[in-house]
Amino acid sequence: MKDAHQKMEATTSALIYCRVSDKKQKTQGHGLESQEHRCRKYADERGYDVEMVFPDDITGGVDFMKRPGMRAMLAYLDAQKGKQYVVIFDDPKRFARHTEFHLKLRREFAQRGARVECLNFQFEDTPEGLFIETVIAAQGQLEREQNRRQVIQKMTARIEKGYYVFHPPVGYRFERVAAHGKLLVRDEPVASIITEALEGYASGRFRSQSEVARFFQSKPDFPKSNKTGLVRITKATEILERPLYAGLVEAPKWGVSLRKGHHEPLISFATHERILARLKGTANAPARNDINKDFPLRGFVHCDDCDQPMTSCWSKGRNQLYPYYLCDTPGCASKRKSIRRADIEDGAEAILRGLQPATQLYKLAKAIFTDIWEMRRVEAMAARKTIETQLSDTSKQIDSLLDRIMDASSPSVIKAYEKRIGELERQTIRLTEQAEKAVPSQGRLSEFIEPALEFLASPWNIYKNGSFALKRTVLKLAFAEPLRYSRNEGYRTAEITFPFKVLADFSSLKCGMVEPRGVEPLTSCMPCKRSPN
């Protein structure tokens, strides 16, 4: 009888299940290997034949059906109906760390005729054994929930101190920094790409989220959403909405309000607020596939007959394709009457060439900008004192509201106070940033003025040598209104922006040096005779 029982055990097939909590433990540790080794040794000692090993490197939460390895094991058992198996695992905590799911998983194996054996615990189908098993499972659940609570408490405390604790977003990476520990730092060149996109959307350079997504898509260094190289609009919108890029951290689900973080911001808080305002006020337009580098003036040049943007197309000739601009507005006298691309673009280029000022006017503009800069610095110093006073008043209001919350008993009143405190905290962040940037350093004069003067000196060169997006930007900066084109007469008078108007007014003035003798009539101190005529 004993020999028959040993022979039966020798022919028993076994499956091994081992699990670690995350992929880092799999790649940097030996948890899966050690568990499998112990389980195989256990199987050899009892004469079990190990058919398969099912590993997991994720927690899956408390639900075992969210673990790929566990699902694969149950599917394997379903495919081997009628065959008896022993499921071996290292410790009850590897099985399930939740009482309900522990018992549910035991039932799943029982329904498939599989027996469960553990290296660190002996399962018994007795009332006492079931009681002890339930206690062990409840203990595992208690430890899991206590660990989760401690982790959340530590993460909450770190966020309250101004540190980001979640997975780093696109454009940032974690790095150990003295006196900070793990701190978000810029991940170049992606960080610079995101800065350009955020500032471009805030300034109106990108009119919609689809244009931002298309900008990301044009950058080879920006991580794409899938293998096709596309960047989804939802990804662009997520980046636009995140306050983290403005140097702020928050955790609303843990009661941590918006506050200034220790990491370097990619944009200012004022820029972030302009982005949010634009997102609330503009629709999410679909991406335009027909706007491309072949027609940079599409949408910017208007038909003179109906004042609507012109469209463009490639027209098929006998042997090749020909590019044309045209008006497609119903009821327009010029509807579907094509205009050669060269006529449209050469005329616009001629207008841009004409905006180039003379050298002496360029020097004069530089001197004017420098004087204005110094005047604004003096004004900014006075403005910073005003902002600091407002900051002090805001801080007093927050303290007053906190005292009222302590005395209040009505939930609606407390909620109203908390809402007002949130608004004041955002105002504090805004005022703090304004105070820090109110007075620019003298070194930033060249940083701001040189690119502006380079643009004023020759917008045509920037347009000619720039990318498609930069050409569109030059058009918006050089012209206050879209250009109007007449099929018969060409371009109408362009409405240029204010800086070019000022330079044009200077160039049209007839100025001359006053002679040393002055402008008064000549007089003499000696008497003289005058002619009667």
Whole-Å CA distances, 9 to 48, 292, 498:
7, 73, 92
Cβ-based neighbours of 173, under 8 Å, separated by 6 or more? 184, 185, 187
Higher pLDDT, 66 or 174: 174
Alpha carbon 15 to chain centroid, angstroms: 46
Domain that includes residue 390, residue range: 359-457
Q: Using the 3D structure, point to which of 123, 155, 187 is the last residue of a domain.
A: 155
Q: Does residue 471 share a domain with residue 417? A: no
Highest mean pLDDT among 34-43, 113-122, 224-233: 34-43
Q: Does residue 495 share a domain with residue 351? A: yes
CA distance 245 to 169: 9
Q: Does residue 467 share a domain with residue 342? A: yes
Tell me, yes or no, whether 27 lies in a domain.
Answer: yes
- Of all residues in the chain, the percent with pLDDT exceeding 70 is 80
* 235: CATH: 3.90.1750.20
Tell me, yes or no, whether 418 lies in a domain.
Answer: yes
Cβ-based neighbours of 343, under 8 Å, separated by 6 or more? 490
Tell me, yes or no, whether 286 lies in a domain.
Answer: no
pLDDT bin (cut points 50, 70, 90) of residue 24 is: low
Q: Which helix (H) or strand (E) holds 49?
A: strand 49-56
Tell me, yes or no, whether 408 lies in a domain.
Answer: yes
**Whole-number pLDDT of residue 171:** 92
Tell me, yes or no, whether 262 lies in a domain.
Answer: yes
Q: Does residue 366 share a domain with residue 312? A: no
Tell me, yes or no, whether 516 lies in a domain.
Answer: no
Q: Does residue 34 share a domain with residue 122? A: yes
CA distance 388 to 164: 28
Q: Using the 3D structure, point to which of 126, 155, 184 is the last residue of a domain.
A: 155
What is the phi-psi region of residue 81: left when phi exceeds 0, alpha when psi lies from -120 to 50, beta otherwise? beta
Tell me, yes or no, whether 520 lies in a domain.
Answer: no
Q: Does residue 374 share a domain with residue 240? A: no
Q: Does residue 256 share a domain with residue 199? A: yes
Which range, of 161-175, 297-311, 318-332, 440-454, averages the lowest pLDDT?
Answer: 440-454
**Whole-number pLDDT of residue 172:** 93
Structure tokens belonging to residue 169: 């977003």
As a whole number, mean pLDDT of residues 440-462 equals 69
* 76: CATH: 3.40.50.1390
As a whole number, mean pLDDT of residues 259-280 equals 89
Q: Does residue 209 share a domain with residue 86? A: no
| pLDDT over 50 at 512, yes or no | no
Q: Does residue 183 share a domain with residue 73? A: no
Alpha carbon 371 to chain centroid, angstroms: 38
How many CB atoms are located within 10 Å of the residue 308 CB?
Answer: 15
Q: Does residue 328 share a domain with residue 475? A: yes
Higher pLDDT, 200 or 289: 200
**Whole-number pLDDT of residue 450:** 66
Cis geometry, peptide bond prior to residue 323 (ω within 30 degrees of 0): no
| pLDDT over 50 at 241, yes or no | yes
- Of all residues in the chain, the percent with pLDDT exceeding 90 is 8
Q: What is the mean pLDDT of the chain?
A: 79
Higher pLDDT, 255 or 2: 255
Tell me, yes or no, whether 78 lies in a domain.
Answer: yes
pTM of the full structure: 0.52
| pLDDT over 90 at 395, yes or no | no
Q: Using the 3D structure, point to which of 424, 457, 490 is the last residue of a domain.
A: 457
pLDDT bin (cut points 50, 70, 90) of residue 4 is: very low
Q: Does residue 139 share a domain with residue 19? A: yes
Domains identified in the chain, total number: 4
Structure tokens belonging to residue 138: 């409840």
How far the first Cα of the chain sits from its last, in Å, is 158
Phi, psi of 51 (to 5 degrees): -90, -45
Q: Does residue 25 share a domain with residue 94? A: yes
